[in-house]
Structure 1
Amino acid sequence: MNLRVWENPWRLMLAVNAAVLVGVFLHKIALPPYVPYIHLLVDYHFGFTKRALIGAIVSLFTAKVPVWLVFALGGAAWLITAGLFVQLFRRTFGFEEKYLPLFVFMAGSPFFLKNFMHTLGHFDIYGCLLAICLLLIPARSLGYVLLAAMFSAILVLIHHIHLLMYVPTIAAIVLLRHYLAHGAKRQSVAVGAASLVAIGVLFIAAQFYGTMAVPEAQFVAYLEGRMADPPRANLLSFGYIWYQPLTKEILDTWQRLPHNLLGIPVFVFLIWLHTPLWQYFLRLVEALAVDAHRRIVPAVVAVVTTAYLIMFAMVFDYSRWISNWAVCLFLILHAVKTLPAKAVQPILAKDRKMVALGWIVILIPRVGIVRPF
């Protein structure tokens, strides 16, 4: 039995990854949920407000918000995302032995589910969740484009930074699964263009008109009234972010830049660890049957990457951004796999270098929020 395990260690890696996930979860629930908790308290009580959609939905069900709700909602979102990703992988590739290394480098990546566990309660995972939904449902009709637009609007209302974080990936999925696969008809192109404009307007409204109009003391007093555990008022220390203008966020980011740039070599190393996955992605693009598709896919990846570079210049949560960028590439890879193409050689399961990289990826518990680890 042991010999069989070591001859094909990829299944053992997945078991180890599950144990690592449990460890990350136990560590996470011991930490105070500063930013995630306050997002559950903020709603539209004072009018249209940025970052308030989730809190507004919570307010429909309860007037008092306990701290444990952060982990309950975040855990539910994590479980749904993980389950849907498994279903997506099964549909796109299947779980034959030859595709297990690919699954390990995605599902076991410290960029993906493990980092979402570490950032439990943050809003990043909702973008990933809705993007996976768009990868699973049929993309034949105009309704698909409208649904993607609605998902994008929801994400911007959850947090306007999704315009850069997951909306470009959602647009890429629509382009690859709908427009390239079923043709760019005049009506669908018009609807897509109008949707992009509408989402852009919504972002501007959230960014520049979603700031609190009441004094901060009044705002914090209202949030305290919604807390189920008022003595934990220290969890409201991030109330200032509903008053902070974009210029201040950019200034803070650039002031922290010299220190945060020290993490770049670590990010490069983590990206390098996924070399087998990137090489498979490249082979997949080269195998596309249509010349135009081989040009469009790199352009799509470039646009998504550019959005993240802009985000890097504006907000300093670098570990989260680099992790979500990698997740976006994982999802785009699934969309590319649906396009007509020749057969592609999978990651070599018995290659010693691939196995070594797989073990390192599995054993890294997370990437972090601001700085690596």
Structure 2
Amino acid sequence: MSTIAANLRQNPWRLLLAINAAVIVGVFVHKIQLPPYVPYIHLLVDYHFGFIKRALIGAIVALFTDRVPVWLVFALGGATWLVTAGLYARLFQKTFGFTAKTLPLFVFVAGSPFFLKNFMHTLGHFDIYGCALAIVLLLMPAGSLLFVATAALFATVLVLIHHIHLLMYVPVIITIVVIRHYLTRGRNRTNVAFGAVAFATVSALFFAAQFWGTMPIPEADFVAYLKTRMADPSRTDLLQFAYIWYQPLAKEISDTWGRLPHNILGVPVFALLIWLHTPLWRYFASLIGALASETHRRLVVAALIGISLAYLVMFAMVFDYSRWISNWAVCMFLTLHAVKMLPAARETPPILAEDQKTNIFGMILTLIPRVGIVRPF
């Protein structure tokens, strides 16, 4: 027994992986007992009254059912989570492979409270769709314009799901396209022009959704219509967020800054969580430093800054800070995979599996079940 305990202390990564799985199950059991206010109403809203923001998922659901049960939030969200987890496992296998040496890296990423565990906590929210589509882009061939076109299509879908994806996952999608297509395959007039037009189109769609995508009818009529889409119209408590289809950008920013003194108290917690990922960030920095091209290194750093600036804008506009910081970290994880696909001048040493400090950080992150939606935990 003492030998087993000593081995676990020295190399606990398989155990941490199992604990993470158990934690995720616990988060799911807890989540399905909570009323899905925002996720449910998104399944009800469609394009019945014309083009409006945040309506794509509801419009797709409307193709299959006239009445939306509450359990569909968890069924659809759970299925999306499983697909995303499977896609990420495939991506990790493709990029790094599953070996004893890469297991600490997998635990730090897949077991991070920023990633799959928080996606489980936010089950039914739209964030995970951006992650899933970005992973698909990391898995598919990137040699032709079809790759750029697919990325543009994914970005369009995400903006139609929720226009804030222009800041949330479109920047990392652009990063993936630049790294996997333009840096690897080279640039020419055709693919540069195609990419520029695609970006302009997605940006125009964002502005259309943001400024012309509000509901064109009185809120009372809108709520009455949503009740006709509910499997149980008596659950009017689930419609309390109908106002978000009427709220202008100025009001969202005003609410965010009004809550800032209280919400900013969570920043030290976010900083601590980021610090606990130090072994992962060091590995990421080493990957960037090992790139064969100085140009590639500079562009990767610029991309990371660009992604982070987009999230700073989100922090100023909407106050779901725990979600934003979690998705920022996920974008960092996905960019790490993209960087690994670039030519390197030397091999980057993996995260040390036997390092005691690394083991402690991994254990702490494993035991943290989620980051949250607005405030930490």
**Same fold judged by TM-score > 0.5?**
yes
CA RMSD of aligned residues (A): 0.7
Code of the residue aligned with 1:310 in structure 2: it is V
Cα separation, 2, equivalents of 1:16 and 1:245: 43
Give runs of aligned pairs for residues 271-350 of structure 1, distance below 5 A: 271-341=274-344, 342-350=346-354
The alpha carbon displacement at 1:97 in A equals 0.7
Report Cα offsets for 1:251-294 as digits up to 9, x if no partner.
Answer: 00000000000000000000000000000000000000011001
Q: Which residue pairs with 2:356 in the alignment?
A: 352
The alpha carbon displacement at 1:130 in A equals 0.2
The alpha carbon displacement at 1:7 in A equals 3.9
Cα separation, 2, equivalents of 1:280 and 1:7: 20
Code of the residue aligned with 2:122 in structure 1: it is T
Structure 2 counterpart of 1:222, from 204, 217, 225: 225
Tell whether 2:119 aligns with 1:116.
yes
Code of the residue aligned with 1:273 in structure 2: it is L
The alpha carbon displacement at 1:303 in A equals 0.2
Q: Which residue pairs with 1:364 in the alignment?
A: 368
SS state at 2:171 partner: helix
> Is the CA contact 2:320–2:375 (under 8 Å) kept in the aligned structure 1?
yes
The alpha carbon displacement at 1:6 in A equals 4.0
Report Cα offsets for 1:77-104 as digits up to 9, x if no partner.
Answer: 0000000000000000001111111000
Tell whether 2:166 aligns with 1:166.
no
Tell whether 2:229 aligns with 1:246.
no
Percent identity between the two aligned chains: 70
The alpha carbon displacement at 1:5 in A equals 3.9
Give runs of aligned pairs for residues 10-159 of structure 1, distance below 5 A: 10-159=13-162
Report Cα offsets for 1:292-344 as digits up to 9, x if no partner.
Answer: 00111100000000000000000000000000000000000000000000100
> Is the CA contact 2:49–2:215 (under 8 Å) kept in the aligned structure 1?
yes
> Is the CA contact 2:10–2:356 (under 8 Å) kept in the aligned structure 1?
no
> Is the CA contact 2:52–2:214 (under 8 Å) kept in the aligned structure 1?
yes
Give runs of aligned pairs for residues 252-267 of structure 1, distance below 5 A: 252-267=255-270
The alpha carbon displacement at 1:231 in A equals 1.4
Cα separation, 1, equivalents of 2:261 and 2:127: 25
Unaligned runs of 5+ in 1: none
Code of the residue aligned with 1:264 in structure 2: it is V
Report Cα offsets for 1:200-247 as digits up to 9, x if no partner.
Answer: 100011001110000000000000010001111110000000000000
Count of residue pairs brought into register by the alignment: 373
Unaligned runs of 5+ in 2: none
SS state at 1:109 partner: coil
Code of the residue aligned with 1:94 in structure 2: it is G
TM-score (norm 2): 0.98
Cα separation, 2, equivalents of 1:288 and 1:276: 19
